[in-house]
Amino acid sequence: MKSILSLLIFVCFIVTSFGFVIPVSDVPVLTDANLITGLLRVDPDDKASEQLSTKCWLWQDEDDLLAYFECEIDSSFYVGSVATRDNAGAADYVRVQLITMPESYFLYYFAAYPTGNILDCVRNSELMIDRNWNSHYTYESKYDNKTWRVTMRIPLAELRFQQKLPYQWKIIITRNHKTAAAVYSYPFLTTDMKKDYFLKAQEIELTKAIKRSLDISLRPYMVKSYDLIEKTSSFDPDHLGMDIAFNPAQRTRIKLSVNPDFSDVPPDNAADNYNSKFPPHLMENRFFFTEDIDVFGLGMEVFYSRRIAQPRLAYKITGSSKYFNWGALGAFDKEIRVGNMLINRDDYYQVLALNPAWRTVKLSNAILSRINDDYYNHVYSGNYYWRFAKDLQLNARTTISTRKTQTDTEAKEGMIGSLSLSVTPGNWYSDGYYTRCSKDINLDMGYLYQKDFHKWGGSAGWDMDQNPGYVKYGGFSTWTEIYEYYPDTIKLHERNFGANIYLNFRPDFSFNTTASVGSEIDYNDVAHDNYAYNALLSYYKWDALSMSVFYQHQNSLVYDLYKAYNQDRYDISIWGSPTPKLNYNLTGSLKQFDCPKVNNVFGSTVIIDNNYIIVNGSISYTKSQKLRFSSAISYDTNDSYGVYSALGYNANLRYEFLPEYFLFAGFQSRQYQDIKSTYNDPLGHFWKASATAYVKLALTL
C-alpha cells in the first residue's frame, strides 16, 4: 500500500513539475495525468502544505478550458458577501491564472467564490490587476459540510495568444483560506518574484485548435433624465449612443463608442483640497477610459483622461504580439458653453502607443495629440527599462512636446528627461533619480502644473518576510527629494526628507507611521520650512465592523496666506458587511488650523475656514449578482464666502434583467448652505444647485 501511495505521489510530482498535455473531452476527465494538487503556502510565504487539500483537474472542451476543483473544507469555510461582477469582497476563493503569451509578462485571472461572484481580470507586467477587462467566463459552485466543488468554464477564444499548435502556455492555481489568512498556490510563486512570476508558472500544452472568435457585441443605450429643479425632461441625441466591440484578430481588440454615456458612474466623493497649490486631480471612474488603459503605459502626468470632458465619439484599439503590445485611442470632445462662456473646447484627443518588451528590456513609446483648428499640442513619451543584472534596474524617461495656440507666433517646444537606478537585493530596495523639466514643456492631455526645474531624489527600504507569527509582516522606508526651480535664473529650492514604518499583526491589526521635514515655495516664490508626522491604526477582524483611525500634525504653508501654520487632522473610517448582502462605508475627517479665520493679505481680506469636517458615506444592498441598490452621501462644512457647507447625495439601481441587458436608474443632488445653522434652526437653509433623476437602458446584441 505504501509503495502504491509513493508511486502516486511521485507521478503527481512529475506531472505538475514538468507540465502536461491538457486532454480534450466533452465530459469530465478526472485522472492523475491532468491533476494539479499539492499547493504550498505563499502568504505567508513559508511553503507550508495545505491542511485542507485542493485538487484541480483541467481539460479542454472545444474552445473552452474546464477547471474542476474539489476543495476540502471545515467549519472555517468563509462564504463571504454577494457582489456584482468584479466586486467580490473578502471570502474563500479558488483562482486560475492563464499565461497565454509568456514572453509578454501578461496573464488572465479567473476567480470563483462560494456565492457565485464573478471576477475576471488581467494582470500586467507590473503585477497589477485590471478589473475592467471582462469575458464570458462562467462557473458553478456547490458546497456541503466537507467539500467545495467548483467547475470553471474559461472561453479561450476570447484570449490573446499565438495561433500556432500546440499552444505552449502556463498556469497558476491558487486557493485562499480567508479565516486562516493564508493563500496557497501551485507552483510556489509570489509577486515578490516580479517577472519570474510569469516565467516559473506551471507549463501546460493544448493540442486542439481554438477557433478565433470575433466576439462582436453591439451595446446600444438610451437615457431619459429629468431636471427636478427646472422641471424639464431631456431626451435628445446626447442621450442616445452605442458601444461596438469586436476582435478582428486573435490578439486585437476594437471598441468604438458613439456618444459614450457615463450617467451611471457614481459622483466623486467630497475631498479636502481647500489648501492646494494646484488644481485637484480626480481618479478616472468612467468605464471606457479605464478598460485596457494599461496597454498605453502612460502616467497621469502625460495622459489624464478626465481632460476629455464629454466625448461625442471615442474609439480604442489594442493588440499584442510575441514581444510587444500596441494601442490607439481617440476621442472627439464636445464643446460646452454656459451662456457665452466657453467651458470646454471641442478638441480631438489621440494616443498612439507601441511598447516592445523582452525579458530584461522594455521600451514604452507613445505619441499624444490634442488638436483643433487653431491649436495643437503634440507629445512624445518614452519610458525605457533595462534590468541588466538580477537586482539592478535602469530606467530612463523622455517626454518632448510642441505646442502652438492662436496667439502664438511660433510653436513652443520643451522636454522632460529623467534617469533612475534601482537596486533590489533580497528584502532591501533603494533607488536614486534625477529629472530635468524645461520651462516650455506643455502636456495639455496630462496633469503637469510645475515646470522649469531640476529634481534629485532617492529612497531606500526593507520589507520583512511574511511569517505565521504575531507580526505577519512589516518594513520601513526613507526618502529624500530636492527641487531646484528656475535653474537658469533665480534658483529656488524645495526639499523633503521622510521615513515610514509599517507593521501588520495577527489578528488583522496594522500600524503605520510617517514623519517628514522640508520646505515649500509659496505663490511669491518664497520658501517656508515645514514638518509633519502621522499615525494610522487599523483593525479589520470582524465582518460587521472594521475601523481605522488616523492622526496627523503638521506645520505647513497655507498658500492663500503666504505663511506656514500648525494643522491637525483627525480621520476615522468604519466599514463592514452586517449581512452577506449588505455593505457600508463611512469616513469622517476633521481639519483644524491655528491661523485666523479672517486675514488681511496684501491689502485684501482673505477668509480661511480653520475648522471644518468632511464626511463621505455609502451603503449598498446586493440581492444577487443581477440586482444591486446603492446610495451615497457627502457632507463638507468648509465655510467660504457665503457658502457654509455642501451636501451631495445619490442613489443608484443596477438590474441585469437578462444576460448583459442592463437597467440603470438613479438620482443625484447637490445642495449648498447659505444660512448658518442655529440653535433654533439646526439645519439652517440649503439651496439646490442640481437635482437630476435618470433611467438608462443598455443592451448587448
| Structure confidence at residue 55 (pLDDT) | 97
- Residue 516 predicted with pLDDT over 90: yes
What whole-number distance in Å separates Cα of residue 202 and Cα of residue 16? 7
Neighbours of 614 (CB within 10 A): 22
Pairing of strands 167-177, 147-155: unpaired
Cell of 108: 488572465
Helix and strand numbers (H, E) in the chain are 3, 43
Q: Are 218 and 701 in contact (CB under 8 A)?
A: yes
Q: Are 565 and 571 in contact (CB under 8 A)?
A: no
Mean pLDDT (the chain) is 87
3-state helix, strand, coil in the chain (%, to 5): 5, 55, 35
CA atoms within 13 A on the CB side of 223: 24
Boundary of a domain, candidates 164, 182, 206: 206
Classified as helix, coil or strand, 171 is: strand
What whole-number distance in Å separates Cα of residue 334 and Cα of residue 430? 45
97 plus 239 within the same structural domain: no
- Residue 453 predicted with pLDDT over 60: yes
662 or 68: which carries more pLDDT confidence?
68
What whole-number distance in Å separates Cα of residue 580 and Cα of residue 620? 11
What's the rounded mean pLDDT across residues 249-258?
75
Q: How many domains does the chain have?
A: 3
- Residue 283 predicted with pLDDT over 70: no
pTM of structure: 0.81
86 or 9: which carries more pLDDT confidence?
86
**DSSP state string for 245-273:** EEEEETTEEEEEEES---TTSPPPPP---
What whole-number distance in Å separates Cα of residue 636 and Cα of residue 614? 5
Give the 3-state secondary structure of 16-71: HHHCEECCECCCCCCCHHHEECCCEEEECCCCCECCCCEEEEEEEECCEEEEEEEE
9 plus 107 within the same structural domain: yes
Nearest to 113 by CA among 74, 135, 83, 153: 83
Q: With respect to residue 496, please indicate whether it lies within any of the assigned structural domains.
A: no
pLDDT in tens, 181-203: 899 999 999 988 888 899 899 99
Integer-rounded Cα Rg, in Å, for the chain is 28
360 plus 235 within the same structural domain: no
163 plus 229 within the same structural domain: no
- Residue 293 predicted with pLDDT over 70: no
pLDDT in tens, 458-491: 999 999 887 777 888 899 999 999 999 999 888 9
Q: Are 327 and 381 in contact (CB under 8 A)?
A: no
What whole-number distance in Å separates Cα of residue 124 and Cα of residue 105? 7
Q: With respect to residue 555, please indicate whether it lies within any of the assigned structural domains.
A: no
- Residue 17 predicted with pLDDT over 50: no
148 plus 243 within the same structural domain: no
- Cell 490578439, residue located: 251
Boundary of a domain, candidates 449, 476, 508: 449
Show the DSSP H helices in 176-311 as ranges.
196-199, 287-290
Q: With respect to residue 455, please indicate whether it lies within any of the assigned structural domains.
A: no
**DSSP state string for 424-477:** --TTEEEEEEEEEE-TT---TTS-----SEEEEEEEEEEEPPP-SSSEEEEEEE
- Residue 3 predicted with pLDDT over 60: no
Its domain, for residue 406, covers 279-449
- Residue 436 predicted with pLDDT over 50: yes
What's the rounded mean pLDDT across residues 77-88?
89
Q: With respect to residue 665, please indicate whether it lies within any of the assigned structural domains.
A: yes
Q: With respect to residue 615, please indicate whether it lies within any of the assigned structural domains.
A: no
Q: How confident is the model at residue 1 (pLDDT cuts 50, 70, 90)?
A: very low
| Structure confidence at residue 159 (pLDDT) | 87
| Structure confidence at residue 235 (pLDDT) | 55
pLDDT in tens, 489-503: 889 999 999 999 999
Output the domain CATH number for residue 114: 2.60.40.1190
160 plus 244 within the same structural domain: no
| Structure confidence at residue 36 (pLDDT) | 96
Write the burial class of residue 14 (CB in 10 Å: 0-12 exposed, 13-18 middle, 19+ buried): exposed
Whole-number percent of the chain with pLDDT over 90: 54
- Residue 236 predicted with pLDDT over 60: no
253 plus 191 within the same structural domain: no
Question: What are the phi and psi torsion angles at 156 (to 5°)?
Answer: -70, -30
| Structure confidence at residue 205 (pLDDT) | 94
317 plus 413 within the same structural domain: yes
Q: Which of 97-101, 252-256, 548-552 has the highest mean pLDDT?
A: 548-552
145 plus 8 within the same structural domain: yes
DSSP class of 97: E
| Structure confidence at residue 238 (pLDDT) | 61
Cell of 349: 484627443
304 or 565: which carries more pLDDT confidence?
565
Largest separation between any pair of C-alpha atoms in the chain: 95
81 plus 187 within the same structural domain: yes
Q: With respect to residue 382, please indicate whether it lies within any of the assigned structural domains.
A: yes
| Structure confidence at residue 292 (pLDDT) | 66
| Structure confidence at residue 2 (pLDDT) | 47
Q: With respect to residue 305, please indicate whether it lies within any of the assigned structural domains.
A: yes
What's the rounded mean pLDDT across residues 670-691?
84
| Structure confidence at residue 251 (pLDDT) | 64
Q: With respect to residue 457, please indicate whether it lies within any of the assigned structural domains.
A: no
Boundary of a domain, candidates 413, 429, 449: 449
17 plus 147 within the same structural domain: yes
| Structure confidence at residue 590 (pLDDT) | 96
Classified as helix, coil or strand, 264 is: coil
169 plus 225 within the same structural domain: no
